[in-house]
Each structure stands twice: as structure tokens, then as C-alpha cells.
């Protein structure tokens, strides 16, 4: 049985039902007096997603679809690491300085990828920040911060 498709189908079906019965009624207005209410297209999409997710689940249960390859452990770790790097960069941007954030994002990604050559760890983040400054502030003549 294609397990990945089964899990994806069930998760999407539950999400579709949550959209139909909770999220769309709470987040859109129904009685606006318009000929076509604002929730019509979201309802059509949510209904379609729910029905198709049910088909996906059934196909997976019957073993009719080739299974997808779920992420490997290293890919899971990379996904989490990249999100953490972005969020930490955002925090540095807001509370310290944009240049520090830019240096951090590049440096942290390089370190995560096992780059240990110190001259590259110093040169690349600095070079990127300088290039961005020259491109926008000098060449294109516009402020971006």
C-alpha cells in the first residue's frame, strides 16, 4: 500500500473538510447581497480538494498508484535548518541590523553545509553584502532598506 499517498490523502481530506465547515465560513462573508457570493470560489476549491483527496486515499488503499518518495532524514533536517536560518535572520534584521542578518543567513547556510574553510566563510557573506550594496545603491541608484 502506498503509505505516503495514504497519509497525504487523509491529511488533505481533513484539511478540505476543515476548510469547508470551519475556515471558509469564519473567514469569508456569505450574505453580501452580491449575485455571486465571495465564498463561492473558495467553496468550489475546497470541495474539489476534499473529493480529490478522497480519490487519492482510495487509490492508495487499493494500491493503484505508484507511491511517492517521502523526504529522507537529511532532507527533513535541511528543511528545518533553512526555516530556522530564515527566522533567525528575520529576528536579527528587526532587532540588530539588516547587514548582520545578511551576513548571518549566508554564513549559517555555509556552516550547515559543512563549509569550514575560514577564508571562504569570511569572504562570501561579506562579498554578497557589498555586491548588493553596489548593485542597488550605486548602480541602480535606489535605497532598499
Partner 1 sequence: MMDELVAGFGAALTFYNVAFIFMGVAIGYLVGALPGLGKGTATAVAIPITFYIEPLAAIAFLIGISKGSTAGSAVSAILMNTPGEPSSAPTAMAGYPLARAGKAQKALKMGLYASVIGDFVSTCVLILSAQSLADYALGIGPIELVAILAFSLTFIAALSGKSLVKGLIAGLFGILCSTVGTEIETSTERFTFGSFDLYEGLPLIPVAIGMLAMSEMMVQIGDRRRLEAETDLLRGSGKPEDAYVTWEDWKKSFKAIIRGTGIGIFIGVLPGLGASTGSFLSYGMARRASKDPDSFERDGAIEGVAATESADNAVVPASFVPLFALGIPGSVIAAILIGAFVIQGVTPGPLMFLEQAELMQGIYASMLAASLILLFIGYFGQNMFARIIKLSPSLVLSTVVFLCCLGSYLQGGGMFGLYIMAIFAVIGFFARKYDFGFVTFLIGFVIGDGFELALRQSIGLLKGTPEAMLDHPVAIVFWVLTIVGVLAILRRKKISTESAT
Q: Grid coordinates standing for 61?
A: 488503499
Angle between helices 40-61 and 3-18 (to 10 degrees): 150
Alpha helical stretches, state H, the chain: 3-18, 24-27, 40-61, 73-95, 98-112, 118-133
Q: Using CB under 8 A, which residues numbered 49 to 78 contact partner 1?
A: 49, 52-53, 55-56, 59, 64-66, 68-72, 74-78
Q: How many residues bind partner 1 (CB under 8 A)?
A: 70
6 binds partner 1 (CB under 8 A): no
130 binds partner 1 (CB under 8 A): no
35 binds partner 1 (CB under 8 A): yes
d(CA 137, CA 99): 14
Grid look-up 494500491 returns 63
97 binds partner 1 (CB under 8 A): no
| Cβ partners under 8 Å of residue 136, min gap 6 | 142, 143, 144
Which residues bind to partner 1, rule: CB under 8 A? 4-5, 8, 12, 19, 23, 27-29, 32, 34-36, 38-39, 41-42, 45-46, 48-49, 52-53, 55-56, 59, 64-66, 68-72, 74-79, 81-83, 85-87, 89-90, 93-94, 102, 105-107, 109-110, 112-115, 120, 124-125, 128, 132, 135-136, 140, 142, 144
Amino acid at each position: 500500500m502506498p503509505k505516503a499517498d495514504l497519509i497525504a490523502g487523509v491529511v488533505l481530506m481533513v484539511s478540505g473538510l476543515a476548510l469547508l465547515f470551519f475556515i471558509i465560513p469564519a473567514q469569508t462573508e456569505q450574505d453580501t447581497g452580491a449575485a455571486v457570493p465571495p465564498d463561492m470560489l473558495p467553496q468550489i476549491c475546497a470541495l474539489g480538494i476534499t473529493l480529490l483527496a478522497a480519490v487519492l486515499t482510495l487509490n492508495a488503499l487499493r494500491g493503484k498508484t505508484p507511491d511517492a518518495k517521502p523526504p529522507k532524514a537529511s532532507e527533513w533536517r535541511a528543511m528545518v535548518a533553512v526555516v530556522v536560518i530564515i527566522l533567525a535572520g528575520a529576528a536579527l534584521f528587526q532587532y540588530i541590523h539588516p547587514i548582520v542578518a545578511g551576513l548571518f543567513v549566508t554564513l549559517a547556510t555555509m556552516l550547515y553545509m559543512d563549509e569550514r574553510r575560514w577564508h571562504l566563510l569570511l569572504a562570501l557573506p561579506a562579498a554578497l553584502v557589498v555586491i548588493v550594496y553596489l548593485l542597488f545603491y550605486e548602480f541602480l541608484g535606489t535605497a532598499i532598506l
